[in-house]
Structure 1
Amino acid sequence: MKRTILPLMASMLLLLAVSSASAQLKRFSIGPYVEGGFPVGDLSETHNTGIGAGLNADIKLLAGFTATGSVGYMHFPGKDITLDNGVEAEVKSFDAIPVRLGLKYKLFSVLYAKVEAGTAHLTKEDAGTAFIVSPGVGVRILMFDIQGKYEAWFRDGSAGFLGVKASINF
């Protein structure tokens, strides 16, 4: 449990430190998000739609670029499946604490493309860490941000999902 709480606390402290240091700048925003993850590939055969929430921050850079970071919690419930030998089995759900850093590029007006990478700290019996890669596109209008993405987690193979993430940035 300490292995999953420590990265979460460190990320939150980093976001708060950057927030207080940049409070006078209008180039910084921070806020909560919610997301849904729709499994694809092998993950879709064993798990249902995932849900998550967390905190993200953006720092505007030069020439349409924005640095972004987030920390949150994600839950994917398991499915009841039939094995090849006809036996019914219940796949356990899994939970993770994803920590992502990335870069957004404003394509025009409100539309942007983004790529993020990071780690997902798996909790419960599957404790460990997965590497995250997540490209996507989004729309930001004033303080509201919605994005569509593909997110891949690599650990003893790969798992992926299509995601929708909505946030409010202050």
Structure 2
Amino acid sequence: MKKVFQALAAFLLIICVSAQSSQAQLKRFSIGPFVEAGFPTGDFSNTHKTGYGIGLGADIKLVAGLTAVGSIGFMYFGGKTINNGGNPYDVPSAKVIPIRLGLRYKLFSILYAKVEGGTAQFTGDYNNGVGALVAPGIGIRLLGLDVEGKYEAWFKDGTQAFWGLKAGYNF
């Protein structure tokens, strides 16, 4: 997984350098940091608290209204203490590195719809390994400010899902 992460980082760096030098005037490419909060649903809400994350996102305009998007981040969901018939036990925290790729479609003016897919690298004691993810969302982008509401599901040994709020700024 480390090689995949390094390859993705190198790919994003190459895109950043080439897009900034060759198309800076067209503003077809943007990159920027984001923060997000995740509110677990289903069984995931029984075992984990509200999650928080940070990351870096990038996008490239393709044709009128359609944009290719990608991001890499880190999400942390604290584990809860579960009382199972008088025997309490602690659920380990979920530490996840999601790598997302997808498409965003501008519905009108500042409103967009987005769908992303990718991988979720679980680290630490909770569900260690790689799983798939899907994340549809809807958001508003005004100048460089981007605010999105989404539903994200990770698939590895079951489904870990959450409703999320994401805010970022693209340069």
User: Which category of TM-score, normalised to the shorter sequence, fits these structures?
Assistant: over 0.9
Quick check: 1:104 aligned with 2:104? Answer: yes
Q: Is the 8 A contact 1:27 1:59 kept in 2?
A: yes
* Consecutive unaligned residues in structure 2, runs of 5 or more: none
Q: Is the 8 A contact 1:100 1:119 kept in 2?
A: yes
Equivalent residues, number: 166
1:54-133 map, 5 Å: 54-83=55-84, 85-125=85-125, 126-133=127-134
User: Corresponding residue for 1:7?
Assistant: 4
User: Corresponding residue for 2:165?
Assistant: 164
Q: Which moved more, 1:118-127 or 1:146-155?
A: 118-127
Deviation at 1:130, TM superposition (A): 1.1
What secondary structure sits across from 2:44 in the alignment?
helix
* Consecutive unaligned residues in structure 1, runs of 5 or more: none
Please, what is the CA RMSD of the aligned residues? 1.0
Which amino acid counterpart does residue 95 of structure 1 have in structure 2? K
Q: Which runs of 4+ in 1 moved over 6 A?
A: none
Q: Is the 8 A contact 1:151 1:161 kept in 2?
A: yes
Deviation digits for residues 86-118 of structure 1 (CA, Å, limit 9, x no counterpart) = 211111101011000000000000000000000
Which amino acid counterpart does residue 86 of structure 1 have in structure 2? G
User: Corresponding residue for 1:36?
Assistant: 37
| Higher fraction of strand | 2
1:140-155 map, 5 Å: 140-155=141-156
Percentage of pairs with the same residue: 54
Q: Is the 8 A contact 1:134 1:151 kept in 2?
A: yes
